[in-house]
């Protein structure tokens, strides 16, 4: 496996972050600020750098490399697989009447199934229901293939996300990268570092990812009561106080970020499904807890491995980034301290992370986690 990395800041030129290599048939991951990716010439620019590359674009809430987290930037990581193969397929949720389950299932079914070892997902994050997307993908592989990745971001704006394969980035696109070969080794781990607090409440009215009532009371009113003065800062303030969800359908609790609010319906729009009759509780965290959770995720991901990782793909949540603020690079430093500085690190801050729970194989939508995928040949 050979890799090279570049970046381009707003108004600047492409700069190599590592040794320039002449890669053959590379997988090229292009993560960046949504406004920069909407430049009509961006595909042509990257194609000129990698004439035979497979170009996968995704907008972010911050780009991750081994040393930095960049906001006004585009970061490229090009990977040449020397002993294995990959295939890239796409589907667009806007072409499926916003049916995210169907989008996910049909997307994975496009990939050749023989020899499939791992799937990386770069999904738009504006229209897709991440919970249904993961259910559809699991159904396509009968819960037997490891699938990791994330939903694209748009800083803390929540206006629009874009993604694409071999074309200019666009809304609604979901990209799947299938990895094949006996030598491919993919391991993962996720951790959050958030702590529940306050009373548990029962979801008494919800529909898909919209939460209407808790304990028979309007959910938004209750949430504002807990936020106090910070309620005026909604929906942005909600990223600092996600919900811990215990569902009858899952053995482990999961976290849901509040992406937006509907004042007219007194409801909250979440990043994924919130099942009826599930129990929810507010969560909070601090910088040290987040950094420690990232270190733990890296430790668990590397403990599962036989070979040293060559590439680390990190997908962390925008909510974590807001808590970390100017100390955002600390959680990346914790990961690098475990996996080693010679491992190529790439990734982004997201609107949702895709991976199984630890010790499981079927992928889920997570919020407020650091999700790490380690690859080697």
Q: Are 181 and 193 in contact (CB under 8 A)?
A: no
* Residue in the structure block whose two tokens are 């108004």: 11
- Least reliable range by pLDDT among 185-189, 233-237, 242-246: 233-237
The CA-to-CA distance between both ends of the chain, in Å, stands at: 6
Give 26-55 pLDDT, tens digit per residue.
Answer: 999 999 999 999 999 999 999 999 999 999
Contacts of 167 (CB under 8 A, 6+ apart): 43
pLDDT tens for each residue of 174-208: 999 999 999 999 999 999 999 999 999 999 999 99
Residue pLDDT, tens place only, 98-142: 899 999 999 999 999 999 999 999 999 999 999 999 999 999 999
CA proximity to 311, closest of 100, 104, 37, 26: 26
Rounded (to 5) percent helix, strand, coil in the chain: 25, 40, 35
d(CA 15, CA 73): 11
The burial class, CB within 10 Å (0-12 / 13-18 / 19+), for 347 is buried
CA neighbours within 13 Å on the CB side: how many for 280? 27
The separation between CA 120 and the C-alpha centre of its own chain, rounded to angstroms, equals: 10
Distance between CA atoms of residues 154 and 353, nearest Å: 14
DSSP alpha helices (H): ranges in 182-248? 219-227
Tell whether omega for the bond before 23 is within 30 degrees of 0, i.e. cis.
no
CA distance linking residue 350 with residue 287, whole number of Å: 18
- Express each pLDDT in 43-94 by its tens digit: 999 999 999 999 999 999 999 998 789 999 999 999 999 999 999 999 999 9
> How far, CA to CA in Å, does 196 sit from each of 37, 199, 246, 364, 367?
37, 9, 11, 20, 14
283 neighbors 242 (Cβ within 8 angstroms)? yes
Return d(Cα 66, Cα 33) in angstroms, integer.
Answer: 18
Strand order of the β-sheet with 15-16 is 15-16, 2-9, 73-80, 27-32, 54-59, 163-165
Over range 270-293, report the average pLDDT: 94
């Amino acid at each position: 496996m050979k890799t090279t990395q570049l970046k381009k800041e707003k108004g600047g030129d492409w700069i190599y972050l590592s040794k320039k290599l002449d890669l053959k048939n590379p997988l090229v991951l292009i993560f960046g600020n949504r406004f920069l990716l909407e430049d009509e010439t961006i595909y042509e620019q990257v194609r000129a750098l990698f004439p035979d590359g497979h170009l996968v674009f995704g907008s972010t809430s911050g780009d991750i490399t081994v040393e930095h987290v960049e906001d006004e930037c585009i970061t490229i990581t090009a990977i040449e697989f020397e002993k294995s193969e990959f295939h890239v397929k796409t589907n667009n949720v806007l072409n499926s009447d916003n049916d995210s389950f169907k989008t996910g299932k049909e997307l994975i079914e496009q990939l050749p199934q023989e020899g499939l070892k791992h799937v990386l997902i770069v999904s738009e994050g504006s229209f897709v229901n991440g919970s249904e997307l993961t259910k559809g993908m699991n159904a396509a592989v009968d819960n037997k293939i490891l699938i990791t990745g994330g939903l694209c971001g748009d800083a803390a704006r929540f206006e629009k996300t874009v993604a694409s394969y071999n074309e200019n980035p666009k809304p609604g696109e979901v990209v799947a990268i299938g990895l094949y070969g006996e030598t491919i080794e993919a391991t993962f781990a996720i951790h959050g570092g958030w702590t529940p607090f306050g009373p548990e409440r029962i979801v008494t009215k919800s529909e898909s990812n919209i939460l209407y009532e808790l304990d028979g009371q309007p959910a938004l009113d209750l949430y504002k009561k807990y936020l106090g003065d910070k309620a005026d800062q909604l929906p942005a303030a909600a990223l600092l106080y996600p919900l811990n969800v215990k569902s009858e359908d899952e053995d482990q609790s999961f976290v849901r970020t509040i992406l937006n609010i509907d004042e007219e319906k007194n409801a909250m729009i979440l990043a994924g499904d919130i099942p009826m009759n599930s129990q929810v509780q507010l969560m909070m965290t601090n910088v040290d807890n987040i950094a420690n959770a990232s270190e733990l995720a890296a430790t668990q991901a590397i403990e599962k491995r036989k070979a040293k990782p060559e590439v680390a793909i990190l997908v962390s949540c925008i909510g974590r980034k807001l808590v970390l603020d100017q100390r955002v690079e600390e959680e990346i430093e914790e990961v690098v301290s475990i996996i080693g500085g010679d491992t190529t690190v790439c990734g982004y801050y997201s609107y949702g992370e895709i991976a199984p729970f630890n010790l499981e194989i079927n992928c889920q939508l997570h919020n407020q986690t650091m999700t790490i995928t380690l690859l080697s040949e």
